[in-house]
Amino acid sequence: MEKPVYYADYLQLDKITRAQDPESFKAGKTPAHDEMLFIIIHQAYELWFKQILFEVNSVIGIMSKPVVNDNSPEMQTVVHRLKRVVTILKVLVQQIDIMETMTPMDFLDFRDMLRPASGFQSYQFKVLEAKLGLKYSHRHGQNYYVSQLKEADIAIIKDAEDGKSVLELLNAWLERMPFISDDFWNNYQQVYTGSLAEAEKANAAAFEATFNTSAADPERHLSPRACRSALFIMLYHGYPMLEQPFQLLETLLEVDNQLGAWRYRHINMVQRMIGSRIGTGGSTGAGYLKGAMDKHYIFKEIAQLNSFLVERKKLPALPKEVEERLGYHF
C-alpha cells in the first residue's frame, strides 16, 4: 500500500521554510528585520521564474514540431500557456508593492552585507529572456553581464541562447502562411501608401524596408515574409481561421508589455531605495536597469507592424477561395 500523501511533505515545506538565512541574523551582527522580507520576495520571484520557464519550454516544444495546425488544440495550448505567463508576470509586477513597504533606511540596515550579490545574478531570468528570443549580441551591458555570473550559470544561459527561441519559432511559423499572393500584396501596398498623410510619407520607405527588402539585417529577427504574414493576421483576424494566430501575436506583445512594466517598476524602486548609488553587484544601478529596459523588448517587430495598418473600409477584398479557407462552413 502506498504511503498517504501529506501536505507538508508533498510541498517540501520543511526545506522551503528553512531556506532563509539572513546575513544580519548571524553571530556578531545586528539583525535587520526587513532582510527576511527581502529574501522571501526574491525566493518567490525565482519560484515564479521556474514556473514561467516550465510554460515557455512547453511552448517551444510544441512550436518545434514539423507541423503545427493553426487552429489545432496544440495551438490553443500554446496561447493558453502564454496567457498564463502573462498572468504570472502581472503578479511579479504587483510583488514590488510588497517590496516597497521597506523604506530606504530599512534596506540600508543590511544592504552592504549583500555585496557582491545582486538580482542581476538571477540566471533564470536571463534564461527566460534567451528562450523568448533575446540573444547575447542584443543584450545591454554585455561585459558586465559576463563578469558578474558564475561560469556554470553562464553556460546554462549560453545553452538557452543556442537553442531555438519562441521568436525564431514564431518567424518560421509565420513564414509558411499560404494565403498571401503577390497580387494581393501589391494591391495592399498601394492602398497603404495612398492612405498616408503628407507628414507620414516617410512611412512608405519603412513599408518597403519591412516587407520587401531581402538584404540581411542583424537587427531584424522576423523576415519580410514573416512580417507580411503577421500583418495579414492583424488585418483579417475577424475571419475564424485567423483568430487563434491573432491571439498568439497579441499574447506575445503582452508578455513584452508585462516584462517592460516589471523593469519600469524595478527602476523606480531602485531609485527610491538607493538613488544614484551603484548596485551591490557593481552595476550603475538604476542607470543600468534603464538601459536594459530600453533595449530588451523582444517582440518589438510585431508591435511596429501597427504602423502599417489601414482602416477596415479600405482593406482589399480577399479572393473568394481565400475567404472560404479562412471561414467556417456548415
The per-residue pLDDT for 51 is: 98
CB atoms within 10 A of CB 158: 13
Q: What is the DSSP letter of 149?
A: S
The per-residue pLDDT for 160 is: 95
Please count the CA atoms within 13 angstroms of the CA of 174 that sit on its side-chain side: 25
C-alpha closest to that of 34 among 109, 132, 97: 109
> Cell numbers 522571501 label which residue?
40
Q: Please report, in angstroms and rounded to a whole number, the separation of the first and last CA atoms in the chain.
A: 53
Amino acid occupying residue 130: A
Region of residue 226 (left: phi > 0; alpha: psi -120 to 50; beta: else)? alpha
The DSSP H or E segment spanning 168 is helix 166-175
CA-to-CA distance for 176 and 314, rounded, in angstroms? 26
* Whole-structure pTM value: 0.91
CB atoms within 10 A of CB 250: 17
The CATH classification of domain 25-326, taken from the options 1.20.58.480, 1.10.287.3510, 1.10.3720.10, 3.40.50.300:
1.20.58.480
The per-residue pLDDT for 136 is: 76
CB atoms within 10 A of CB 246: 18
The per-residue pLDDT for 76 is: 93
Evaluate whether 31 touches 25 at the Cβ level (below 8 Å): yes
CA-to-CA distance for 57 and 124, rounded, in angstroms? 13
CA-to-CA distance for 83 and 89, rounded, in angstroms? 10
- pLDDT (tens digit, 0 to 9) for every residue of the chain, 330 residues total? 888 999 999 999 999 999 999 999 999 999 999 999 999 999 999 999 999 999 999 999 999 998 877 777 899 999 999 999 999 999 999 999 999 999 999 999 999 898 877 777 889 999 999 999 988 777 766 676 667 788 999 999 999 999 999 999 999 999 988 777 888 889 999 999 999 999 998 899 999 999 988 766 777 899 999 999 999 999 999 988 899 999 999 999 999 999 999 988 888 888 888 776 665 555 555 566 666 666 678 999 999 999 999 999 999 988 888 888 887 554
The per-residue pLDDT for 278 is: 60
CA-to-CA distance for 223 and 226, rounded, in angstroms? 5
Evaluate whether 231 touches 239 at the Cβ level (below 8 Å): no
> Cell numbers 498568439 label which residue?
248
Domain borders along the chain are 25-326
The per-residue pLDDT for 119 is: 77
How many residues are present in the chain?
330
The per-residue pLDDT for 236 is: 94
